[in-house]
Amino acid sequence: MDAGRMANIIDPQNARFALWEARRYKGADVINALNAVCWNELYTEDIDASRSFYAALFDWKYKVSPDDTEIRVNGAGIGGMFQITDEMRGPHPMWIPYFMAGDADATAAKAKSIRGAVYVGPQDIPNVGRFAIVADPQGAAFAIIRLQG
């Protein structure tokens, strides 16, 4: 058990996530590449409380706009936070990892063909790319995205 240490956490809004303390194994070697994690988003019922919690826990900084909150570490965007609204159907407080896809439509269709589900999309995010929120056969949600340019 010298690879590292892990802790599973539930934040004050009931979103679950894990912490990793590296030892022999540092963690992910590949990020921001095709078929790898490229972003993470928190859907929360109280965005102000979530901003406060994560800023205190990780010393995160934020770029806040009317539509979302970008999480920034060392000046770089690493994820986002969204307030759950009454118009949203289904999201409860949760973290959703985004995986970079070469073709969001084809990847969503493939997920469905192998007993997964498509919850949202595929649809465009202006100036960002095309994404879908899907789930594996056990219902674990994640997103796929084909980034622009």
| DSSP state string for 37-83 | EEEEEEEES-HHHHHHHHHHHH--EEEE-SS-EEEEETTEEEEEEEE
CB 92 within 8 A of CB 42: no
**Six-digit token string for 138:** 């056990």
Element (DSSP H or E) covering residue 8: strand 4-10
Q: What is the pLDDT of residue 89?
A: 60
Domain spanning 30-147: CATH superfamily: 2,3-Dihydroxybiphenyl 1,2-Dioxygenase, domain 1 (3.10.180.10)
* The pLDDT value given to residue 84: 87
Tell me phi and psi for residue 113, to 5 degrees. Answer: -70, -20
From the first residue on, what is the mean pLDDT of each consecutive set of 10 residues in the chain (149 residues)?
92 95 89 94 94 97 93 95 78 90 97 94 91 93 92
